[in-house]
Amino acid sequence: MLVPALLVLLFCLRGHAGLSPHFLQQPKDLMVLLGDEARLPCALGTYSGVVQWTKDGLALGGERDLPGWSRYWISGDAARGQHDLHIRPVELEDQASYECQATQAGLRSRPAQLHVLVPPEAPQVLGSPSVSLVAGVPANLTCRSRGDARPTPELLWFRDEVQLDGATSYQTLLKKGTIESVESILSFTPSSHDDGATLVCRARSQALPAGKDTAITLSLQYSPVVTLSAEPQTVQEGEKVTFLCQARAQPPVTGYRWAKGGSPVPGARGPMLEVVADTSFLTAPVSCEVSNAVGSANCSTALDVQFGPILQAKPEPMSVDQGEEASFSCAWHGNPLPRVTWTRHGGAQVLGYGPTLRLPSVGPEDAGDYVCRAETGPSGLGGGAAEVRLTVNAPPVVTALHSSTAFLRGPARLQCLVFASPAPEAVVWSWDEGFLEKGSRGRFLVETFPAPEGRIGQGPGLISVLHISGTQESDFSRGFNCSARNRLGEGDTWISLGRREVLPTIRVVAGVASLATSLIIVITGVALCCWCQGKALPPSSHPHPLFLASASFSKQKNQVHIPGSSHGSSLRGPEEEETGSSENQGSIMHMDSSDLVLDEEGALETKDPTNGYYKVQGVSVSLSIGKTPGDGLFLPPSSPLGPLGTPPFYDFNSHLGMPRPCKLSRAQAGYLTTPHSRAFTSYIKPTSFGPPDRAPRTPPFPYASFPTPSHCRLQTHV
């Protein structure tokens, strides 16, 4: 074991003794900022001789402190072969190629390039710190970097830390080939949104990777930027809407201009406009134009005006043949769009939806009116409807108007009603022995005229009448046919003639005549009875108060004075009895002045109420109301209508139409009382007067007092 170890040690000693000087570490290229310290390393092995540094081939010296180079020195442990070159502070002249040399061993390191870096100064932007531009006009911004910056700086543009593209860089060289300055031009077209924006020009190089910045602020002049709003945006027709026009401009706004559908709105000024919404705002938007010194801009908006359905296209009536297809169309406009439905007139069943209704293979039952209805939408703005008529062309429909009856050998008339579309070419009546379309033939005559009302969807109606003069037995046993035809076919109906009997009619007429005759007889009998009673009275006992020959009449008080009466009592009213005298004043009879006149000799004469139209003289019946003898009309105590001493009762109510409370009665002392006022059937001027027949305890000269005209009055003329 000892022998191998010795051999190894010997080998190592021989290898160590045979090594030559060599570089353990050589300098490398180095970049140093101006003013900083530069260190170039150099280490040698198995060398203990002189070591020196060269600068661009010029030896700096072999001493460690390098006399003559105040900023240069060599550091490190020489025994260990360390010979590092230090330069502090580094200046621009220190930028060179450096070598580490072992002069005694003839060794030279590889050259190491020392680069002195000079940081760039802050760039300059033309027009900074605020640049005024016009929006929409292309502009150039110039950034310039001057000085001895090494390496040449790079100029970049930033906005909000985002690099901008479109910059172009230029370099200005001196005659010596060095760079005097660097410029960067940013070309762009600013907008109104760039107003107040900050742009940064940054000079960046290896000497200063972070770079140095110069910021500028953009001040833009721009035409107005307009925003137009409406409140409310969705509105119902007829409501008010306010438009607000807001503008951002530099310099400030100088004017506003409003328009609707391209036409100026008269009198509209300022940023606000108030209008009443209608349907035109859907297709004619409102615009606002704002101006300033730079220019003008406008903005427009349309309203969402909600309104009820408006009929734009009305459905057209149709006339189609039976079995063909019918189609109707109608168009409604509304906001929101209405839902369109189709129904029959008067019906609720929906036949279709949408603007078109198709009816395949129509029949007569499909004829009539159809309704195109726009239903109310969610807005609840009402609806609308349009009607259209479908006429179905089909063979005529013939019906009998009503059953007809006639007397034998009398006139008769049969009628049929015809509906047809198209109109019938002919309406023909036929029977056993012939037919007739129009005009007359023997006992038959045909007339045709339009019906007052047509049947919906089946065209206008016709009424055809068959007149028969002098009916015969055969007319009641056979039928009459009414038929009509058009290009689509024929229709007919049978009508029979009923017979009317004469006997029931004669009975009715006879009954009516009998009743009328009985009524006339009753009325005549009553009148004759009244006339006979008046005839039986003697002239001296005539009930009329004019029996006093020397009576005087006072027109002022409507009184008749009867001289010679010794009776001191009066049958006047209570008021007159209080004021009346008990002396010989005669009897006073109250009468209506219109019933008495004076003749030419001054005598009283009754006034004929008929003015001579009826020249009838008869009994005078005076009806009055009263409970005392003074309120009645004087009558003889005897009467031909009843036994003496029995007050007769005359009831004319059933014949004269008088109410039940009104009656004729014989009162005490020969006075007739009744709830009616007086009535005169005729007037007779008496020639002589006799004393009346008085009942016991009857005044010698009674008089009749007539009530006031407020009582009812009955006049009977016979």
Tell me the C-alpha to C-alpha distance, in Å, between residue 592 and each of 8, 44, 548, 554: 193, 180, 17, 11
Q: Could you count the other beta carbons within 10 Å of the beta carbon of residue 375? A: 16
pLDDT digits 0-9 by tens, 355-385: 999 999 999 889 999 999 998 765 556 678 9
Domain extent, residue 482, equals: 394-496
Which of 499, 457, 509, 507 is closest to 478 using CA atoms? 499
The per-residue pLDDT of the chain, averaged, comes to 75
Domain count, the chain: 5
Amino acid at 74: I
Higher pLDDT, 696 or 640: 696
Q: Is residue 515 part of a domain?
A: no
Structure tokens at 442: 């023997």
Q: Are residues 321 and 296 in the same domain?
A: no
Q: Are residues 171 and 239 in the same domain?
A: no
CA 350, CA 342: separation in Å to the nearest integer?
Answer: 6
Q: Which of 482-486, 685-689, 703-707 has the lowest mean pLDDT?
A: 703-707
Judged by DSSP in three states, 605 sits in: strand
CA 97, CA 44: separation in Å to the nearest integer?
Answer: 20
Overall pTM surpassing 0.85 (yes/no): no
Q: Are residues 98 and 148 in the same domain?
A: no
CA dihedral 230, 234, 237, 242 (to 10 degrees): -20
Q: Is residue 662 part of a domain?
A: no
Q: Are residues 139 and 198 in the same domain?
A: yes
Which of 290, 304, 294, 229 is closest to 258 using CA atoms? 290
Q: Is residue 83 part of a domain?
A: yes
Domain boundary at 220, 253, 279, which?
220
Number of H helices, E strands in the chain: 5, 54
Burial of 356 (0-12, 13-18, 19+ CB in 10 A): middle
- Residues forming beta bridges with residue 344, ordered by sequence position: 370
Q: Is residue 504 part of a domain?
A: no
Judged by DSSP in three states, 442 sits in: coil
Q: Are residues 238 and 194 in the same domain?
A: no
Q: Is residue 556 part of a domain?
A: no
Q: What is the mean pLDDT of residues 618-627?
A: 36
CA 490, CA 395: separation in Å to the nearest integer?
Answer: 5
Q: Are residues 55 and 98 in the same domain?
A: yes
The pairing of strands 384-400 and 318-321 is parallel
Q: Could you count the other beta carbons within 10 Å of the beta carbon of residue 397? A: 18
CATH number at residue 240: 2.60.40.10
578: left (phi over 0), alpha (psi -120 to 50) or beta: alpha
Q: Are residues 295 and 315 in the same domain?
A: no
The 3-state secondary structure of 334-394, one letter per residue? EECCCEEEEEECCCCCEEEECCEEEECCCCHHHCEEEEEEEECCCCCCCCEEEEEEEEEEE
- Residues forming beta bridges with residue 307, ordered by sequence position: 335
Band of pLDDT at residue 41, cut at 50, 70 and 90: very high
Q: Are residues 426 and 490 in the same domain?
A: yes
Quick one: pLDDT at residue 549? 31
Side-chain-side CA neighbours of 58 within 13 Å: the count stands at: 8
Judged by DSSP in three states, 215 sits in: strand
CA 476, CA 473: separation in Å to the nearest integer?
Answer: 6
Q: Are 672 and 632 in contact (CB under 8 A)?
A: yes
Q: Is residue 358 part of a domain?
A: yes
Which of 259, 235, 263, 264 is closest to 245 using CA atoms? 259
Structure tokens at 222: 């721009």
Q: Is residue 478 part of a domain?
A: yes
Quick one: pLDDT at residue 452? 79
Band of pLDDT at residue 529, cut at 50, 70 and 90: confident
The answer, yes or no, to whether residue 503 has pLDDT greater than 70, is no
Which of 532, 527, 511 is closest to 614 using CA atoms? 527
Quick one: pLDDT at residue 178? 62
Quick one: pLDDT at residue 575? 36
pLDDT digits 0-9 by tens, 187-232: 999 988 888 999 999 999 988 999 999 999 999 899 898 999 999 9
Q: Does the CA dihedral 330-334-336-341 come out positive or negative?
A: negative
Q: Are residues 386 and 398 in the same domain?
A: no
pLDDT digits 0-9 by tens, 427-468: 999 998 888 988 888 899 999 988 877 666 566 789 999 999
Q: Are residues 404 and 387 in the same domain?
A: no
pLDDT digits 0-9 by tens, 482-501: 999 999 999 999 999 999 88
Which of 63, 29, 26 is closest to 44 using CA atoms? 26
The secondary structure of 280-298 as a DSSP string is GGGTS-EEEEEE-SS-EEE
Domain boundary at 173, 188, 220, which?
220
The 3-state secondary structure of 320-335, one letter per residue? EECCCCEEEECEEEEE
- Residues forming beta bridges with residue 465, ordered by sequence position: 415, 447
Domain boundary at 345, 362, 391, which?
391
Q: Are 313 and 347 in contact (CB under 8 A)?
A: no
Q: Are residues 242 and 216 in the same domain?
A: no
The pairing of strands 179-188 and 167-173 is antiparallel
Q: Is residue 599 part of a domain?
A: no
Which of 13, 108, 24 is closest to 59 using CA atoms? 108
Q: Are residues 147 and 216 in the same domain?
A: yes
